[in-house]
Amino acid sequence: MDTSEAAVQYRIQTWINIFADCKQSGMTVQQYCDANQLSRDSYYYWYKKIRAMTLKQAAPSIVPIGTTDPVMEQSSVSKNTIATGHMLVPSTLTLQMGDISLTVTEATPDSLLRRTIRILQEVK
């Protein structure tokens, strides 16, 4: 790691600490920035930049699932169902983010999925 990379990493870590301190303080971002002589624009610049980097690093692995099952091709099975032998199983989507695995079926309520994604975004 060269000097400029080290400087960027130092800034990133500094801002991560600032975000944590702001959240723990219970103040609004504006109040926290005013109290700590920080630019609100800088706060949000680094927040957006670090969040984008974090999301890019934690992007879920998407594994396509295919079938060569002739039963699937010949039947009138809905596109959202996978035929396995004689049994019909609802299709699933599994997202893997680090140690967290989230499996979603077509029966998963949208509201539950939205809440779960929101919680996972806050945990990061």
Residues 48, 76, single domain; the answer is no
| Confidence (pLDDT) at 18 | 94
| Confidence (pLDDT) at 98 | 67
Residues 48, 90, single domain; the answer is no
Mean pLDDT on 101-112: 76
Question: Hey, how many other C-beta atoms are within 10 angstroms of the C-beta on 33?
Answer: 19
Tens digit of each residue's pLDDT (9 = 90 or more) over 28-63: 999 999 999 999 999 999 999 988 888 777 665 555
Dihedral, 86, 87, 91, 97 alpha carbons, nearest 10: -110
Distance between CA atoms of residues 88 and 74, nearest Å = 14
107 domain residue, yes or no: yes
Residues 10, 52, single domain; the answer is yes
Mean pLDDT of the chain: 75
Distance between CA atoms of residues 58 and 117, nearest Å = 13
Looking at the predicted structure, is the pLDDT value of residue 22 above 90?
yes
Residues 27, 48, single domain; the answer is yes
65 domain residue, yes or no: no
More confident residue, 68 or 119: 119
64 domain residue, yes or no: no
Question: Hey, how many other C-beta atoms are within 10 angstroms of the C-beta on 4?
Answer: 8
pTM listed for this prediction: 0.47
Distance between CA atoms of residues 42 and 32, nearest Å = 13
Total of domains in the chain: 2
Helices marked H in 26-69: 29-35, 40-57
Which pLDDT band holds residue 87 (cuts at 50, 70, 90)?
A: very low
| Confidence (pLDDT) at 73 | 42
Range of the domain at 11: 3-57
Distance between CA atoms of residues 96 and 61, nearest Å = 6
